[in-house]
Amino acid sequence: MTFLLLAPPALVALGLVVHRHTAPAPRALLWTALVLVVAGAERLLSPEPPLLRMVGTVVCAFLVVKVMVGEEEKRDGMEPLPPARWLAFATLWIGMRPRLFAAPRRGPVAGVRDLAVRGAAGLLVGVLLVAASRLSGPVSDAVLGTGLLLVFHFGSCTLLAAAWRARGVRCDAIVREPWRSRSLGEFWSRRWNLAYFEMCTILLYRPLAGRVGRGASVMLVFLFSGLLHEMAISLPVRAGYGLPTLYFAAHGLGVLAEEALARRGRPIRGLAGRAWALFWILAPLPVLFHAPFVAGVLRPLVPF
């Protein structure tokens, strides 16, 4: 527990020092720091229950990644953010685009009310589903997982975006009607957890696409996503290793298959596209959120 109290503030302070330095830090150093911080967090949190191990490891990795995207944006010409704006970006926003905080406008940005209403609705429905999940039955874990996604992704994060828009920062919801996805590519790049998409684009796809080609870059992004989900899902419960990576590898192959069909003039469209995306997103979810994670992390989130 002491680690959870001391490590995040220390990483935020160190991140501010790194960010304020004019020259970007070397990529190799930053990636090494990410690996060492995750390994150190796992080691120091080993006596704690899985839920605390997950929270501690994810928070520490999140703060290091904030530094990493900031350094990449500096390589692309962004000036270091003033300290207060850097701290706001690093600790009070889930997204990975520091440029949003570089020059906030005076007064609110349009869309505050819409985001606030959507966020409040998502939060309310999510809380109701979480409460309903405590009823006995074979679908209760699915209801619990859906409720938690609504509370965080659709509710809390959307309300936070509304709050930042009210202060002149052009933040937006990180989920945008994912049920409208007509392909896996659209789901991952335009609909679902756009903070994650921003991170992967800045840290991996943009630096690698010109060197190894689009196809290899796409697969590396999905494999990296798999590894990060191993850290958040399998590592805390010390079980299910490889399953999250399998889920994301399959999605990477699915995206490449969509693009190959489109190049040959046979794109997956309409209802078939929606069915294709929906199947690959939902059918393998038990592979991603495997049973040890559900038992060790999800259920303890709601002790009542």
Each residue's pLDDT expressed in tens, for the chain with a length of 304 residues: 677 789 999 999 999 999 999 889 999 999 999 999 999 999 999 999 999 999 999 999 999 999 999 999 999 999 999 999 999 999 999 999 999 999 878 889 999 999 999 999 999 999 999 988 877 666 688 899 999 999 999 999 999 999 999 999 999 999 999 999 999 999 999 999 999 999 999 999 999 988 999 999 999 999 999 999 999 999 999 999 999 999 999 999 999 999 999 999 888 888 898 999 999 999 999 999 999 999 999 988 876 6
Q: Quick check: 220 and 212 in contact, CB under 8 A? A: yes
Kindly report the pTM of this predicted structure. 0.92
Q: What DSSP designation does 80 have?
A: P
Summary count for the chain: helices (H), strands (E)? 17, 0
* Number of neighbouring beta carbons within 10 Å of residue 8: 16
Backbone angles phi, psi at 174, to 5 degrees: -90, -10
Helical H runs in 76-187? 83-92, 112-132, 140-149, 157-166, 184-186
- If one counts every other C-beta atom within 10 angstroms of the C-beta of residue 210, the result is 9
Instruction: Please state, in angstroms and rounded to a whole number, the distance separating the CA atoms of residues 109 and 171.
Output: 9
Q: Which residue type, as a one-letter code, is found at position 291?
A: A
